[in-house]
């Protein structure tokens, strides 16, 4: 059981570039979510999904897209990277809603 996996671990982008952060879970969880962690800001919800084909916005969705075509995968797309998106990104999953969520190890993204 790998739990929640995220790739890549580290990424450096130039302003304007696009990329996809990958997230996968093998626990058959319906609920998946993406957070970003910035110094002094805690964890802020970007997007979440309550099941395959269903996504919704969180607190800070601008500049990010998501899709959920399978139960296992929940990729996060940065359409045109900006320095304000420099952050650590965490993916999480749970059986339902905001119960105990299992977090991945994170992706540290730097946008120059």
> Which residues of this protein are in contact with other proteins, per CB under 8 A?
4, 31, 33, 35, 40-45, 48, 50, 58, 90, 92, 96-106
Nearer to other proteins, 58 or 75 (CB): 58
Spatial CB neighbours of 65, under 8 Å, sequence gap ≥ 6: 76, 77, 79
Q: Give the Cα separation of 8 and 10 in Å (integer).
A: 6
Cα–Cα distance measured from residue 41 to residue 31, given in angstroms and rounded to the nearest whole number: 23
Q: How near is the Cβ of 98 to other proteins at its closest, in Å?
A: 3
Smallest distance from the beta carbon of 80 to other proteins, in angstroms? 26
DSSP at 4? E
Residue placing its CB nearer to other proteins in the complex, 36 or 81 = 36
Nearest approach in angstroms of CB 108 to other proteins is 8
DSSP 73: B
């Amino acid at each position: 059981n790998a739990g929640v996996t995220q790739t890549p671990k580290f990424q450096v982008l130039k302003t304007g570039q696009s990329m996809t952060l990958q997230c996968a879970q093998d626990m058959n969880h319906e609920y998946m979510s993406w957070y970003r962690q910035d110094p002094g800001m805690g964890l802020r919800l970007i997007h979440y999904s309550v099941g395959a084909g269903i996504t919704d916005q969180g607190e800070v969705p601008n500049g990010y897209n998501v899709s959920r075509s399978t139960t296992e995968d929940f990729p996060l797309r940065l359409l045109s990277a900006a320095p304000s998106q420099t952050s650590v990104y965490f993916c999480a999953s749970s059986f339902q809603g905001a119960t105990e969520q299992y977090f991945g190890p994170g992706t540290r993204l730097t946008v120059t």
